[in-house]
Amino acid sequence: MAVLTAAPTGTPRPAPETDGGARHTLRRLARRWPLLPLIGTVLLLAAPLPEGSRAGAGGLVPADLASGALVLFCAVRVLRTRAAALTPSAAAVLALPAAAVAIATVTAADPTAALPGFVRYLQVFVLVPAAVVLLVRDAHDFRIVTGSLVVLALVQGGIGIHQYTTGAGASYRGEDVRAVGTFGPTDVMGMATVVAYGLLAAAAFALRTPPGAPRRLRVAAAGTAALLVVPLGLSFSRGAWIATGAAAFTMLLLAGLRRAVTTLAVLTAVTVVLVGGFGVGSEMISQRLGSITQVTAAPDRSVSDRYTMWAAAASMWREEPVTGVGLKGFPAHRDAHASIGLSSGSDIAGAGQTFRKQPLLSPHNMYLLILGEQGLIGLTAFAVSWAALLAGGIRRLLRRAGPADCGLVAVALMLWQTVDFLYADIGGPSTVLTGIVLGLAARWALAPAGGREPADARGTEAPAHRDAARWDPAPAGRDGARPV
């Protein structure tokens, strides 16, 4: 029988177990330091942008510079630790866009003018995704990066709600009420994109809470997702609404009926209270929703301009069907292929800027932009690459080859991006996040089935185990996922 005795006076008492737990937590966080450049790139978009970067969609912003530092850091780390580079499948998927933009640059009428486009495409679709694949080693890393997207969404969404309630947003129907966050009226899709990423990530954690996490995390995640519905609605971005709805519906199907019904009930209740009960933008949102179907019966100016530019991009492709007109060639060839119905530009005002016209430099459809500027070679390369990421992610999720929460996030974000590209293209400060989202999707979809993982912070390689064990090397939980 064990006897409990009091320690003599002056005898040092053993440290409480919580101290050991705290030290263990600090050690775990210290091992995650390679993620700092990646997290910094995401969170830099929460800061107000310099005035010069608001002038158009093509200027560099601090997050772009941070993404360059991220790629450089990843390259140096791989060389220093002699870690394994990308797997053959990941290298092949990311090499397709690189080859396509290289061909489009070489075959352009003015390769020098196409060079900035070449660099931008490499940044967004090749280098940043590759850096994410190499730096995100397991499910813990994946959740940390995803959490930074949620934090960014909450910050930008909060600013957007404040803009609507105080009349300090971008101009919409003669009122300065459009929520644009810190991105300004020149990038009205920026805040909508950021908020949609965070909403889907939070919803994924609500549907499939990480194993071992407290139950309150599910409620908090569902509440966060519902809260982010408000700034997404106040962005008045129809493309973001459609893409978010498609991604959310797919997540509900993949998560299972019981979890889907519970989470959907929470989301609906909070949304009804915020939007319906308090009337947060309900009238304008309903009008904007109704305009989605007005494609032939008196569409608004933005819709008619978009269709005109879509037709112009298709006309460019018919002129140069194989290689297109070259990177950055759309603005130069637009007037020769567009009808006289195209307006002189978009009206820009509000959110701290005076009224002016912003030139229409892209068709606001990524697929048509690639088709017009890069031809069938480019569109085929990008379509195959993105289809591989989406199909591979869904396949691994259905096979339960890793933590379900990470799989839901990866599939939802990738699906959102592919649908949103029907109504938008790259450009603006938030573009760097596209590369991070593609990297997360690639990390999930193209996880190696054998061999070794990238080296950790100490330069030691993780042993080769089963694919799922590479994400969470702990015993499987009740739902088949591996606990943290």
Answer yes or no: are the C-beta atoms of 67 and 123 closer than 8 Å: yes
Is residue 206 within 8 Å of residue 251, measured between CB atoms?
no
Q: How confident is the model at residue 295 (pLDDT cuts 50, 70, 90)?
A: very low
- pLDDT, position 386: 97
Higher pLDDT, 467 or 77: 77
The mean pLDDT value for 270-295 works out to: 54
- The pLDDT of residue 267 is 62
Q: Lowest mean pLDDT: which of 262-266, 315-319, 363-367, 453-457? A: 453-457
462 to 86, 404, 450, 473: CA distances (angstroms): 15, 22, 12, 10
pLDDT band with cut points at 50, 70 and 90 for residue 211: confident
Average pLDDT over residues 442-465: 52
391 or 18, which is more confident: 391
* 32: pLDDT strictly greater than 60: yes
pLDDT grade, residue 274 (50/70/90)? Answer: low
339-362 tens-digit pLDDT: 776 776 676 776 767 777 777 788
Confidence of residue 60 (pLDDT cuts 50, 70, 90): confident
Contact 259, 481 (CB under 8 A): no
Indicate if the pLDDT at residue 7 is higher than 50: no
What is the pLDDT at residue 205?
Answer: 93
Is 409 in contact with 201 (CB distance < 8 Å)? yes
Residue with the bigger pLDDT between 240 and 479: it is 240
pLDDT band at 79 (very low <50, low <70, confident <90, very high): confident
- Which is more confident, 216 or 269? 216
Q: Which residues have CB under 8 Å from 391's CB, separation 6+?
A: 445
Mean pLDDT calculated for residue range 98-103 = 95
Q: Among 50-64, 139-153, 166-180, whose mean pLDDT is lowest?
A: 50-64
The share of the chain scoring above pLDDT 90, in percent, equals 45
Q: Is the pLDDT of residue 450 over 70?
A: no
pLDDT at 177: 86
Is the model more confident about 78 or about 128?
A: 128
Residue 20 pLDDT exceeds 70 = no
pLDDT the model gives residue 92: 94
> Average pLDDT for residues 60-64, to the nearest whole number?
87
Residue 412: pLDDT band by 50, 70, 90 thresholds?
A: very high
What pLDDT is stored for residue 55 in this prediction? 42
> CA–CA separation, 470 vs 53, rounded Å?
41
Closest CA to 444 of 369, 393, 394, 390: 393
Average pLDDT along the chain = 80
Confidence band, pLDDT 50/70/90 cuts, at residue 464 = very low
Name the pLDDT band for 59 (thresholds 50, 70, 90): low
Task: For the chain, give the percent of residues with pLDDT over 70.
Answer: 73
Lowest-pLDDT choice from 45-54, 134-143, 363-372? 45-54
Q: Is the pLDDT of residue 121 over 70?
A: yes
Point out the least confidently predicted range of 23-27, 85-89, 382-386: 23-27
| Residue 368: pLDDT over 60 | yes
Segment 250-260 mean pLDDT: 78
What pLDDT shows up at residue 23? 67
Residue whose pair of structure tokens reads 């500027």 in the numeric block = 373
Q: Tell me the domain boundaries of the chain.
A: 95-447
Residue identified by tokens 């959907």 is: 264
